[in-house]
Chain A
Amino acid sequence: MTFELFSDIFTFRDNALRRLDPRVKVVVGLVAIFAVVSSQGVLFPALVFSLALMGMLLVGLPVAFMLGRFLAPLGTVLILFLLHAVLYGWTPLFSLPLFGQRVVIMQEGVLRGMHLACRVLGGFGIMVLLSSVTPSHQIFHALAYFKAPKGWLEVAMMMYRYIFVILESAADAMAAQRVRLGYCGLKRSLNSLGVLSGVVIVKSLEQAQRTHEAMLARGYKGHTPFGPMPALSPKDGWTLGLSLGVLIGLYLATEGWVFG
């Protein structure tokens, strides 16, 4: 079963970014991402990507993991870059022979494609870094602090926790199906996947009943209380101010420079 690695396995390593207050990381991450997608030039997203890449290397994320994470968006970026290069623009840059025809590459399209590529890399870099230095429970805690709806958070925490429990049952059932040659040919594969999906849902419903009884026994009243978050330490406050200052400064300098 090709279930992939959750990035938050790296959050259990101790490093400076890991020790930062999750509220600081969530705010800085979101500001950086929305600044990247609002940028009009390539320089700001490229700088953000470079900073994120440095952060990822500093906290010791394996290069293979980073490449794996960036493979899917890079594939999409490559295709959209090609599309823009030939579809968009009015100034021919050069032409390439393809199956007896000539494909004209447009200057404006290439610039637009590069901008898109930088935006994707910048945004993705921040997202991967954020999830690699912030455990999920801290992200949920920060979201609770920022007044995310209680019901949504409750379901989110429940879902996150039980994904791994149900995954084990699903993996066991799939292994049993494989042993019985359940994945030989499309028809049998589909039949096995259908049964497996049903098994997963039934197991999840039965688990929900057991979980609910266990929660009731521990005094569950429809929501799990979050403990209060401590006030930001001076170090976290400085980090927040400095990070936002750097981001805003870079944004103004690069976007102004591009259009100035």
Chain B
Amino acid sequence: MNGKNKLLWFFLFVSAFVFFPRVSFAMHISEGILPLKWALFWFVLAVPFLYLGLVRLRRLTESSSQAIPMVGLVGSAVFIISCMPIPIPVAGSCSHPVGSGLAAIIIGPSLSVVVSSIALLLQALFLAHGGLSTLGANIFSMGVAGSFVAYGVFWLMVRVGFGWMAAAFMAGLLSDWATYAVTSLELSSALHGGSGAFGPMFVSILLAFAPTQVPLGILEGVLCAMAYAFVRARRFDLLGVFEKGGAT
């Protein structure tokens, strides 16, 4: 591939993403995109985090039978929030928040992985967003990366002394961008097709998502901060059930 070709495919790729607004759903890796070995690799990486979440859920259930309905219902709420269309001013289209950042700061990152895995399975099966063979990759990018980054940032900022509103904003923003970066990594590592092409593929996918994901991350941060502020102001007492049962 010569230099002119590189420039042109890059232009082609970026414009294609910008001009196909449906691809703003592309944080879900579609069924069939990943070859078998990469699909299994991301499943293997996601499983320990899912296990951690299930252990946490069991501990919570042992201390209160209210835990299952609470986690399930918050999961439904986050599923619905993640389907809400957000207008993206730069791309001229609507996209959807990831939601795992908000879930992580409300119910904790490991439970957020459990909820994300279920939401992703339901979305794959009944809404055709994502896929079954790509479920592991999607759980890792949205559930694991999104939740742990959000919770880590939130916890750190509150500890350092930032207000919880700023912390919730950064949690939403960085969880979205972490999901976006990990999805790009997953796609480029599986599809680069040979030596030397990983770098250009990764950069081109990052840049291709950028017109949607950079503003979407900022908007998700705002949404996350406002939703958290609302819950905190109205019924923060109800979140007490998630404090029981030990570690994250």
Q: Which residues of A contact B239 (CB under 8 A)?
A: 205
Q: Which residues of A contact B1 (CB under 8 A)?
A: 86-87, 104, 106
Contact between A123 and B72 (Cβ–Cβ < 8 Å)? no
Q: Which residues of B contact A157 (CB under 8 A)?
A: 72
Q: Which residues of B contact A190 (CB under 8 A)?
A: 86, 219, 222-223, 226
Contact between A123 and B238 (Cβ–Cβ < 8 Å)? no
Q: Is A13 an interface residue (CB 8 A)?
A: no
Q: Is B45 an interface residue (CB 8 A)?
A: no
Q: Nearest Cβ distance between residue B30 and chain A, in whole angstroms?
A: 4
Q: Which of A213-221, A230-238, A246-254 lies at the binding interface?
A: A213-221
Q: Which of B128-136, B141-149, B154-162, B173-181 lies at the binding interface?
A: B128-136
A2 to B126, CA, bound (A): 15
Q: Is B41 an interface residue (CB 8 A)?
A: no
Closest chain B residue to A159, Cβ basis: B75
- Interface size, B (range): 35 or more
Contact between A7 and B127 (Cβ–Cβ < 8 Å)? yes
Contact between B73 and A205 (Cβ–Cβ < 8 Å)? yes
Number of residue pairs across A and B with beta carbons under 8 Å? 302
Tell me the dominant secondary structure on chain A's binding face.
Answer: helix
- Interface size, A (range): 35 or more
Which residue from B35, B119, B227 sits with its C-beta under 8 Å from A37? B35
A160 to B123, CA, bound (A): 11
Q: Which residues of A contact B8 (CB under 8 A)?
A: 86, 98-99, 101, 103
Contact between A198 and B125 (Cβ–Cβ < 8 Å)? no
Q: Could you list 11 examples of A-B contacts with CB < 8 Å? A: A30-B132, A72-B25, A84-B193, A86-B1, A128-B128, A156-B118, A166-B76, A196-B84, A197-B223, A203-B77, A207-B73
Measured CB to CB, the residues of A under 8 A from B are 1-4, 6-8, 29-30, 33-34, 36-38, 45, 69-73, 75-80, 82-84, 86-88, 98-99, 101-104, 106, 112, 116, 119-124, 127-128, 130-131, 136, 139, 149, 151-152, 154-160, 162-163, 165-167, 170, 186, 189-191, 193-209, 211-212, 215-216, 220-223
